[in-house]
Amino acid sequence: MLSGTCLCGLVSWTLFAKIDGATACNCTACRRYGVLWAYGYLDIDIKTAGPTKSYSRGAEIEFHFCECCGSMAYWLAKSANSEGKYRIAVNLRLTEPDFVANIPIDHFDGLETFSDLPRDGKCVADYWA
């Protein structure tokens, strides 16, 4: 289990699933937010708490941030998949660095090709060095 909180502590998330990688995306939103994502399904793998505001990006996802301190907490799919589940990704930068330091980085080209890129051997700790 892993948890994260925003800067002021009003918004939090708990991730119950095993994390096999942290996604660093270069799309116009993710690179501006400076996030590292871990994925799951709302209320199955990940539970959230606290008041957020959201920014809608197209028809697929909403970015949720703390309405008080502005910390980017997670993105949430706007609609359920065929199994009735909502995809969600939490910002690993909201947890303590030691808990996620050794998680490998998965690069995603969300800017041009919308595809996964090969791992380069870096982990979360390399982003904080």
Residue 42 has what pLDDT?
Answer: 98
- DSSP one-letter string for 57-116: ETTTEEEEEETTT--EEEEEESS--TTSPPEEEEEGGGS-HHHHTTPBEEEEETTTT-EE
Tell me the domains of the chain and their CATH numbers. 2-127 (2.170.150.70)
Residue 129 has what pLDDT?
Answer: 63
Within 8 A by CB and 6+ apart from 91, the residues are 4, 33, 35, 36, 37, 71, 72, 73, 74
Tell me how many degrees the CA angle 24-107-98 measures, rounded to the nearest 5.
50
Residue 104 to residue 26: CA distance in whole angstroms: 17
* Tokens found for residue 113: 């090709």
Residue 59 has what pLDDT?
Answer: 86
Prediction pTM value: 0.94
| pLDDT classification of 12: cutoffs 50, 70, 90 | very high
Residue 27 to residue 33: CA distance in whole angstroms: 10
